[in-house]
A and B are shown apart, each in its own frame.
Chain A
Amino acid sequence: MALSNIGNFISQKKAIRTLVILSIVLVMLLAGFTPGSAASFPSTTIVSVNKDVSVTISGINFPADQTFTVRMGAFGTLGVGGTVVGTKEPSSSTSFTATYNIPASLVGASKIAIRFDSPQGYYAYDFFINNPSAATATTGPTKTPGPTKTPGPTNTPGPSPTPKPTSAYKGPIPTINIVGVQKGTSVSIVTKDYPAGQTFTVRIGEYGTLGIGGTVVGTLNSGAGGAIAQIFSIPAALADRAKLSIRLDSPLGYYSYDWFNNDASFGTSSATATMTATPGATPTLAPTATPGGPTLTPTIMPTAGPTTTGPVAGYVGIPTFSISSVVKDQSVTISAVNFPPGQVFTVRMGAFGTMGVGGTTITTVNSGAGGSFTATYPIPAALAGGSRIAIRLETGYYYAYNWFWNN
């Protein structure tokens, strides 16, 4: 038999073996197989739920002489690392019924995980729907017998729990985009599909950590939800890192993380936030905006405005910028020319027609050596949904403004 045929034969045998084993696993999955002797495992049943207040749970097969720590956490965490809500003390019986208060951090969650752990290695976990009417349902996802274990060296590759019909789509996953970075100073993000009314803790940490355990740099209140733009300072201790992680967590189990290069060239757009000073750039006046125009239209920028700081010696002309691109409700990228050197411009956005005067402060940008640059700025949540938005860069002496179609 040729070597290749032997190889094919072996390959076919492996494939058949894999298929057979896979079939067995599938059968076990479909049959709701549970490894070991279920009778000796502690297991729980949700008895009732007082929404946002407490849950009553009963357990069987709990070792009578052991103390269990009871935790609640976001759905999907199996209760691992959750908030301690009480203990289940030793008793003369292996069965019990007890009520535990829902911690404040989980108030409002639609589903909550609950977990029992003993120092001897016994554990059980379950989840409940934080809604009294659903707690006693006999069908659906109301209650899942928590996979449990007995202590011991056996390492059983536990098949997944009994499959159930594919759940209906439950909405989009909230995400974040990094839209701008000021090296060692700040990072700008824009959220998408964020849930309403939640406070996210924002952390920045070393690259590769997913932001876990990073320095808390602020919070993000999701307000009405959706797209929210916010800027966070980079911790001084991490200011010199080449890459960093950023993470947003809410108590109800939402989280997002990403990473970014800690330099001004990093962002969503290929030309995002790149400060490429061109001292010799010639001022260019772009055509006047045409209201109602269907596309991004570069517009003319005015000359210096009200003085709070003086003019820059040797600088001539006027700063202008055009709109390069827009991501609806998320960000706008501008291309600026002939900006004076060494000036800190405040970037604002406001309603169309306001010229950005008094608009929401987005960030500040230092013009460095002056000249040309491109940058991307997040569109604030308050302006999301608007068809046209004004954007303004101003120092108090110099200013430029423009507007763009938010699409």
Chain B
Amino acid sequence: MTPTQKGYAPNLTVFKKSLKAASVETSIENLISLLKRRQIKNSRPCAMATAELLRIVVARDRWTDLGKLIAHIQDVGRRLVEAQPRELAVGNIVRRVLGMIRDEGNEDRKNEGSDSGSATGSPQLEFSIPAPTTTKRPPSSSLRFASTDGVHFTEDRPTTRPPLMTSHTSYAVANNVPVQQSMFNLLSATGSPNLTPSGANSPHGDSTPHPFALSEKMINSTKDLRAEVVNGIEEILDELEQVDDQIAAYALEHIHSNEVILTHSSSVTVYKFLLKAADKRKFTVIIAESYPNDHEETHLAVMGKMKDPESEEEDKETYLKSLQAAGITVILVTDASIFAIMSRVNKVILATHAVIANGGLVAAAGARIIARAAKAHRTPVIVLSGVYKLSPEHPFEFESLIEYGDPGSIVGYEDGTLVEKMEVDNPLYDYVPPDLVDLYITNLGSHAPSYLYRIVADHYKPEDVNFNNPELLF
């Protein structure tokens, strides 16, 4: 972002390169310090770095069963989140990976279950309550259970992964429906065999019963699982790379001819969205410069010097097509004129840093002023956000999400006499409450703020939501 980051200072590109040579533990420490020093910052780089790191962890680490892997990922995730708790994307990626591993585990066990024709006896599906509806497990199954035990799920789970004994988590895991069925928990006969996972395709081709191939499968399955999980993480990385283009695909539904769009700061997501709409439509974009933290980039963007994020990979800078070249009329305004100009605006499009489960968002400072002004003028506010920015964390205190930056960009240090006499705050982010937002556009489509909780529930498993908060883990 700042010029100093180029050249010798380590950034995402440098970190990615270092991953190839360094050991797992060094890489973890490396990323922690990069996050702490803010040398990797903003949602997308943080998310990518986290996913890259977890891929290395899964691929290189010695793990024999998924329980241990989950515990290890939780541990790494916890350290990363502690390093930079305000980069919610880090925690989101960790949760996604954890959820994926759990899915793999479920599918794997289901395969075995279908092999032996009975409910599996894995720890996650074992319950403290004797259930009258439990059908007798055929004797072969107990044998199988004992034999596969060491491979996938050990009984003595590590302490960092507390037992999933509450009925609702096990039930939810089993059915892949996180929230909905929870009301039956009160009465449910947990532990009945009918709670085994249902539906979903098997990751392995051989879902047909293979009682004799079992032993062979056990040897292969760790390797298979490792490949599956690494594949899954690569899918997440792909998603992170494509997310802006996917969001941009919805542009034509939302931007119409001769509209006046207001946005602020320099966001690649918004920029690509506008460019996409400009393919077919002519419209005007008003950009608030977002002084003092992002005005230089915003000015560059208006001048047609918006850096293409993908160009970072090849160490040479390429720029996105300029808005003017795409046929858009661009007007740059100061932040002070936002309210004045709002009466002429048809739509506000905001980029975001993170979106939280209640439908509110954390965005570059100034976003709340714009959203309030838009509310006052009844102007619709659209927020563009990749799903990876959606955090299941519920902010108990919004102030804790706001990061404060260098006050020197407001009052320069050369102005020493002034700095000594007053306190200068430079918040980098704003919290925008859900009632100021009309629509979210993610790579999955458009959603009302009140519906976001559902998207969140679809993406993260309930038992992973509080992975960094052991007190709420059960």
A binds B: no
B interface residues, Cβ below 8 angstroms from A: none
Listed in ascending order, the chain A residues whose CB lies under 8 Å from chain B are: none
